[in-house]
Structure 1
Amino acid sequence: MSVVAKLHRTTWSTLKQLQQNGRKARFSASATTSRNDLFTHEQRRQREAVGRVDKIEVRYMGQPEDVTLVMNKHISTPYNCAQHLSEGICKRSALALIDGSVPWDMHRPLPESCTLQLLHFFVAEPHLVNKAFWRSCSFMLGAALSRIFKTEARLQLHSFPSPNIKSGSFVHDVVLGTHTWEPTKAEMRAVSAEMVKLAARDIPIERLEVEQELAQEMFKDSRYKNAQLPSIAQQNQGRVTLYRLDDHIDISRGPMVGSTRFLGKCTIIGAHKLSNKGATDAFYRFQGVALPSGFMLNHVAYSLLEQRAQKLNPARLPNEPFEDQQQLQLS
Structure 2
Amino acid sequence: MNHHVKLFYSRRLSTLSNVQVSQTNKLSINEIREKRLSIFDKELKRQQALITRLEKIEVSFKGLNNESTTLIMNKGVSTPFNCAQHINELLTKQSVVAEINGEVWDMHRPIPSDCTLKLLHMKAEDPQQASLVNKTFWRSCSFLLGAVIENSFEDDVPAVLHSFPPANVRSGSFVHDVYLNLESWVPTQNDLRKIAATFQKFIRNNMIFQRLDIDSTLALKMFEDNVFKAEQIPHIATKSNSGQSVTVYRVGDHIDISRGPMIASTSLVGRCSIASVHKLESGIYRFQGVALPSDIYINHFAFGILESRARKQNPARIPELSAKT
Q: TM-score, normalised by structure 1?
A: 0.86
Matching of residue 214 in structure 1 with residue 214 in structure 2: no
Alignment partners' CA distance in 2, 1:88 and 1:260: 16
Matches within 5 A, 1:110-149: 110-125=111-126, 126-149=130-153
One-letter code of the match for 1:92?
A: Q
**Segment drifting more, 286-295 vs 144-153:** 144-153
Q: Name the SS of the counterpart of 1:153 in structure 2.
A: coil
Give 1:218 deviation, angstroms.
0.4
Larger radius of gyration: 1
Map 1:307-318 to 2 at 5 A.
307-318=308-319
User: In the superposition, relative to structure 1, how do residues 224 and 22 fare at CA in structure 2: closer, same or farther (>3 Å)?
Assistant: closer
Q: Does the Cα contact within 8 Å between 2:29 and 2:150 map onto a contact in 1?
A: no
Counterpart AA for 1:43: L
Q: Secondary structure at the match of 1:84?
A: helix
- Counterpart residue number, 2:71: 69
Residues 75-114 of structure 1 mapped to structure 2, 5 A cutoff: 75-99=77-101, 101-114=102-115
Q: In the alignment, which residue of structure 2 is the partner of 1:185? A: 189
Q: Distance in 1 between matches of 2:197 and 2:24?
A: 26
State the alpha-carbon separation in 1 of the partners of residues 184 and 321 from structure 2. Answer: 22
Shift in Å, 1:294: 1.2
Q: Structure 2: 5+ residue runs without aligned partners?
A: 7-21
CA distances 1:222-272 after superposition (whole Å, capped 9, x unpaired):
111111101111121100000001111000000000101111010011100
Q: Do residues 175 (structure 1) and 176 (structure 2) align? A: no
TM-score normalized by the length of structure 2: 0.88
Letter in 1 for 2:90: G
2:29 corresponds in structure 1 to 28
Whole-angstrom CA distance in 1 between matches of 2:321 and 2:228: 13
Cα pair 2:176 2:288 within 8 Å, conserved? yes
The reply on whether 1:160 has 2:164 as its aligned counterpart is: yes
Distance 1:58 1:156 in 2: 42
Q: Name the counterpart of 1:7.
A: none
What's the CA shift for 1:22?
Answer: 9.6
Give the C-alpha shift of residue 63 in structure 1.
4.3
2:272 aligns with one of 263, 266, 276? 266
Matched, 1:232 2:236: yes
Alpha-carbon distance in 2 for matches of 1:133, 1:114:
24
Asked if 1:306 corresponds to 2:307, the answer is yes
Cα shift at 1:28: 3.0
Amino acid across the alignment from 2:72? V
Indicate the residue corresponding to 2:11 in structure 1. Answer: none
1:239-278 → structure 2 map (5 Å cutoff) = 239-275=245-281, 277=282
One-letter code aligned to 2:289: G
| Amino acid aligned to 1:249 | I
Output the amino acid matched with 1:75.
V
1:278-309 CA distance string (max 9 Å, x none): xxxx1100000110001011112111111111
CA distance in 1, matches of 2:239, 2:83: 32
Q: How many residues align?
A: 299
Q: Deviations 1:22-46 (Å, cap 9, x if unpaired)? A: 954x543222111101101111111
**SS of equivalent to 2:259:** coil
Checking the alignment, whether the CA contact within 8 Å between 2:98 and 2:104 is kept in structure 1 is: yes
Aligned-pair distance for 1:320?
Answer: 6.9
Which digits, 9 at most, give the CA deviation of each residue in 1:86-113, with x for residues without a partner? 11110111100112x2100000000111
Letter of the aligned partner of 2:238 in structure 1? Q
Q: Which amino acid aligns with 1:83?
A: Q
- Seen in structure 2, the aligned counterparts of structure 1 residues 221 and 296 have a Cα distance that, compared at 3 Å, is same
Other-structure match for 1:324: none
Q: State the 1:136 CA deviation.
A: 0.2
Q: Letter of the 2:80 partner, please give it.
A: P
What's the secondary structure of 1:297's corresponding residue?
coil
Q: Once the 2 structures are TM-superposed, how far is the Cα of residue 142 of structure 1 from its aligned partner?
A: 0.3
State how far apart, in whole Å, the 2-side matches of 1:36 and 1:110 are.
24
Q: Deviations over 1:183-228 (max 9, x none)?
A: 1111111111111112211001100000000000001111111111
CA distance in 2, matches of 1:34, 1:152: 19
Distance 1:260 1:124 in 2: 23
User: Counterparts of 2:37 and 2:100 in 1: how far apart (Å)?
Assistant: 29
Alpha-carbon distance, 1:85 to partner: 0.8
Match for 1:160: what amino acid?
Answer: F
Distance across 2 between alignment mates of 1:204 and 1:22: 34
CA contact (8 A) 2:24 2:156 kept: no
The secondary structure found in structure 1 opposite 2:279 is strand
Following the alignment from structure 1 to structure 2, what is the Cα–Cα distance between the partners of residues 89 and 44? 28
Q: Which amino acid aligns with 1:158?
A: H
